[in-house]
Structure 1
């Protein structure tokens, strides 16, 4: 079976546009639809026709292009069952544990409430690829708009259970700010300090910081490391629960 092909580009100001293409079937999925023109240009550059949109949540910067893409390509829009009423042009709803086929491969839906109430991620187990959108970023996680810190902590733990080799595509180029914040929370983490230095160089060159891996995030992302003694000491929260530590980290990032 031929490998899936992925094209990454910028939409709006800092949204990642991501196209997923199967060379065997010719299917192409846009992961969310932040902005029409960059998506169309990326598809035309590769000679791909968009057949699907995999919507992760209802925020405007992720669904703005839905109707225009459907009008242009007649593509099928798949999205979260619990946010269906807010997803423009939705054709098929999916929820936690559902599977469907794309490019002869299973796609598993993982519900990750936190950033929004019905946010979902798409996981391709045969390829170990995760499209995490605004749940998990490189060295970060999404703001909590519609659900609690406890909900988001549980959602992140679901993603952390995936194989360490899982390749993660996320929704925004926030990594430089995330790195600068992360070292204030986990200053003794040598792997994190090294990664933060690399990210500074990447962004100076204008390079993207996508993708990451689950294993790399477990080693360096403070939002996945609330149980680590060093972080708890830094925050003065040695006796707190993991979700309480996570909530404090998220609160600090909101004002960083």
Structure 2
């Protein structure tokens, strides 16, 4: 693996399926470092990094901390209802602005169906930060608890991974595997907004050395659509 700085030829952005776009090396080294430091602060209690337990009694191998609203299987709440019960940390304005910037980059290249209208979709107000150690993975799932149709913005930091992006009908084929490296951006919206996706593999030891991170961080930004006229959260709280 390389850090992308001296790769020949450079990796090109690609539309994996209509509405799903991979932009390699979108975050430069300094922005990556600042985001990693922010994630370290957010991971501290209260409402810090936790292990997510599923209704069937299983546990997710990637640990998680939330900002703005707390996600749990399968809804949102203003407090860490499946953790220490503390109020969730606020989503910083600069992070919401980063989500809008990311979508504008993808819109500019004319991806099918990737569009964001703040009046229609509401603000980006939720972040899920997932931490993957060497053995962690994420099963195929959909981001389906939000009422907004705004595109999902995914930022990768640290170790590279296999990101599996599928279809909207089932967890099975057809799907495509994309290698995501530190600094990569992946946006999916429009016809791909409810597609199943997951992380079947992380490549340990591939993070840029200067980042000082062992493992992988994924920051996923979403618009919940639970504001005025958007209805209540689909869960307790």
Give the TM-score normalised by structure 1: 0.28
Q: Which has the larger radius of gyration?
A: 1
Larger RCO of the pair (alpha carbons < 8 Å, separation 6+): 2
Higher strand share: 2
Higher helix share: 1
Give the TM-score normalised by structure 2: 0.30
